[in-house]
Structure 1
């Protein structure tokens, strides 16, 4: 494995991370939604061929080259999800489905960071979000170990839905937590509906994939030197049984899914993480999950860390530059 250095944004205290991460998330949201609006407008331009050309055949061929939209919200929207229309033939509904920000979240301290940073902002278009989970511990949702449960209590339940609307939230089927394989298969089907629809898609493409990193080096529920999950090439979701730490049974999205995202962002804090961060950044040949992602998604990976997590770590730190506010105007007419 070659040495691939990601962008590393360092902060004197972890309190500064939440604000910066929130800004980065909103920027990723704005880029995703703006690009999809541009794609829609370009599609409309291709459709509006002037009648003076008289070349109907050529215009049809041109329309045929417009890529179909594959990020279609699943009909299995659960709990906090917004309503989905089954009338796929409606142009208006099709346009709405194009404008979605698809994000994957892990659990742990990341949820608290998002709680502190995102909820106070007024430029989060929650009603345009499709939220998936990087992994899940197979415990009841009311458990403090549940990633979805934690996100629901600390973020989703606190959104001013009257003002901002509701995101679509896609989580595991709680009734399947006693069967990791079936639970993983079911969640993969949800991903397929959300990202592939009727099209053939090799991998889902998230606009942003947010992860933490544990002291033992695991990300999502992918543990170092454990089973064959780090070598999985085909599955989108894998079961994890007898995990080395924490809840024994889990599911996790795979390395190829993570690396296929437009942006991958790690949020890490505390001196307890410094030894593993040192290994990740200075000894990538060790093959820790984060090192694999740094390499596999090279150029699209960012780390938000406090100085304690970089103790004795030799890396080039960058100062985070906040983005200018962006006004997104959605016209569904």
Structure 2
């Protein structure tokens, strides 16, 4: 049974700052014993604020970014440069400032193109994941997967009672008819999420409180997908007081 910790911060700003500091420390600690490191990023307000806080940190350059591979838990299937893409927001917040991070280490999910369907895009990302898997599983050895969470308890683009969310035996899937716009998305599956050494669930805001409660109660993943978001070694719930239902 993996370890589960719940850490509550006063507000969303403090949460983002704390997650950023924790992330930098995590990378430095991992690099003292292994390389490369594989991390999946998340979007959302707090997720992007976390990356911006990393960019502002005076110790970010202590990380050897040449040995870090960055992936995404999910992505909106939109054209290159669209500001709603997690990739674009992450580049603006942090990645463009990391001059030592090789572009080849940034594994963005495919962008929408006229000759590319969302299903084919998901297959391309599955192939990219397999390219960095060394144990025959088809999944890289993820050190950490960061996940935001919606008020409906979804993580990545795995939504409650949505048929695409229950896919098994796959690494990345196409999501059709997403209940949250845009309708077409790409997402990692639970097969990948649950293979990570650590999973951090990040949530802020009173509208997330019910979902946090559902996840911690370990309801069925069809009802509360976040309940199935756990790492093989450790799962952290990093929340603010309102998401924790304390205000």
Query: Smaller-chain TM-score range?
Result: 0.7 to 0.9
Q: Indicate yes or no: 2:243 matched with 1:304.
A: no
Give unmatched runs, 5+ long, in structure 1.
Answer: 37-98, 314-333
Q: Indicate yes or no: 2:222 matched with 1:293.
A: no
**For 1:183, which of 116, 121, 141 is the aligned residue?**
121
Q: Judging changes above 3 Å, is the alpha-carbon distance between structure 1 residues 272 and 233 closer, same or farther for their aligned structure 2 residues?
A: same
Counterpart-to-counterpart distance in 1, 2:170 and 2:113: 19
| Corresponding residue number in structure 1 for 2:197 | 262
SS of the equivalent of 1:203 reads coil
Shift of 1:101: 1.6
Which of structures 1 and 2 has the bigger CA Rg? Answer: 1
* Deviations 1:116-157, CA, capped at 9 Å, x for gaps: 234323223222211111111101232222011111111112
Q: Indicate yes or no: 2:184 matched with 1:245.
A: no
| Corresponding residue number in structure 2 for 1:220 | 156
SS of the equivalent of 2:174 reads strand
- Residues 216, 276 of structure 1: 8 Å contact kept: yes
Counterpart-to-counterpart distance in 1, 2:74 and 2:159: 12
**For 2:58, which of 99, 113, 121 is the aligned residue?**
121
Counterpart-to-counterpart distance in 2, 1:210 and 1:250: 18
> What TM-score comes out, normalization by structure 2 length?
0.88
| Corresponding residue number in structure 1 for 2:168 | 233
SS of the equivalent of 1:267 reads strand
> What TM-score comes out, normalization by structure 1 length?
0.66
Q: Judging changes above 3 Å, is the alpha-carbon distance between structure 1 residues 281 and 180 closer, same or farther for their aligned structure 2 residues?
A: same
- Residues 137, 146 of structure 1: 8 Å contact kept: yes
Identify the structure with the greater helix proportion.
Answer: 1
Q: Indicate yes or no: 2:37 matched with 1:34.
A: no
Counterpart-to-counterpart distance in 2, 1:209 and 1:23: 16
SS of the equivalent of 2:163 reads coil
| Corresponding residue number in structure 2 for 1:135 | 74
- Residues 195, 232 of structure 2: 8 Å contact kept: no
Counterpart-to-counterpart distance in 1, 2:173 and 2:117: 12
Counterpart-to-counterpart distance in 2, 1:276 and 1:200: 35
Shift of 1:275: 1.7
Q: Which segment drifts farther, 145-154 or 108-117? A: 108-117
Counterpart-to-counterpart distance in 2, 1:175 and 1:225: 26
Alignment: residue pair count:
241
Identify the structure with the greater strand proportion.
Answer: 2
